[in-house]
Amino acid sequence: MAGASNILEDRSRLSRLDRLLFKLETQLALAGGLTILFLMLLAVAQILGRKLFNLPVPGFIDLVESAMAVFAFLGIAFCQRLGGHIRMDIFIGTLRGRPLWAAEFVGVLTMLLLTMLLTVGSWLHFRRAWVLGDSSIDIAIPLWPAKLMVPIALSLLTLRLALQLWGYARAFRENARYPVAVPLIESAAEQAAHQARAVSDADKDEKASHGTD
């Protein structure tokens, strides 16, 4: 089962596009995280308002349902870039070199085709909500903004998968050992080493900041 990964960079056009797209993916993932924070605060207000003042938040369920599309989908391209989606790599993990990059290419191509179909379907679903004026049951929140988040997120995932296809094709052509712009799945020992290094670097930064105060 794949876990963390490492993304290598260089000065190639592929790597520049990868970093540029990652900036956008990071911003959307941040928006999804802020949405979760908003829902947590809203839930606190709902509980305290109901218990203390018998005054629940109007349309709480409607707001939660609409927000779910935001935090559930806006981070999928970000997670794909980092290789964070769960997958089974019992077979892939035994491959090296061109056979590995060929297998990864086929897997990403399959995901790309499926994502394109889902993008079209979710866009049509959004269009129906827009044309029909679909709204929530309780406080009649328009549902089209939440439904629009799905094709937007899937379109970004399509771009990410296309870049990764490019990366794996380049790795196959060059028989690269460490290709750029694709997630290189790490072993448990490598993950532990990187996590220890990250903690050590954070401690050094904290000590340095205290030293300058």
Q: What is the mean pLDDT of residues 114-141?
A: 93
d(CA 173, CA 97): 10
Scan for tokens 């105060």, then name that residue: 213
- Write the CA distances from 24 to 154, 193, 206, integer angstroms: 13, 28, 28
* pLDDT in the model for residue 173: 93
From the list 37, 12, 2, 44, the residue with the least C-alpha distance to 167 is: 12
DSSP 96: -
Number of C-alpha atoms within 13 angstroms, CB side, residue 53?
7
Domain ranges of the chain: 5-196
What band does 186 get if pLDDT is binned at 50, 70 and 90? low
* pLDDT in the model for residue 3: 44
The Cβ of residue 169 has, within 10 Å, a number of other Cβ atoms equal to 17
What band does 115 get if pLDDT is binned at 50, 70 and 90? very high
What is the identity of the amino acid at 182? V
Contact 181, 10 (CB under 8 A): no
* pLDDT in the model for residue 199: 66
Q: Residues 65-91: pLDDT tens digits?
A: 889 888 899 999 999 998 888 777 778
d(CA 199, CA 207): 12
From the list 29, 125, 26, 22, the residue with the least C-alpha distance to 74 is: 29
What band does 9 get if pLDDT is binned at 50, 70 and 90? confident
CA-derived radius of gyration, the chain: 21
d(CA 213, CA 42): 37
Provide the Cα torsion 144, 40, 77, 4; round to 10°: -160
DSSP alpha helices (H): ranges in 54-143? 60-73, 76-81, 98-132
Q: What is the mean pLDDT of residues 186-200?
A: 65
- Which residues are 185's β-sheet partners? 5
Rounded-to-5 percentages of helix, strand, coil across the chain = 75, 5, 25
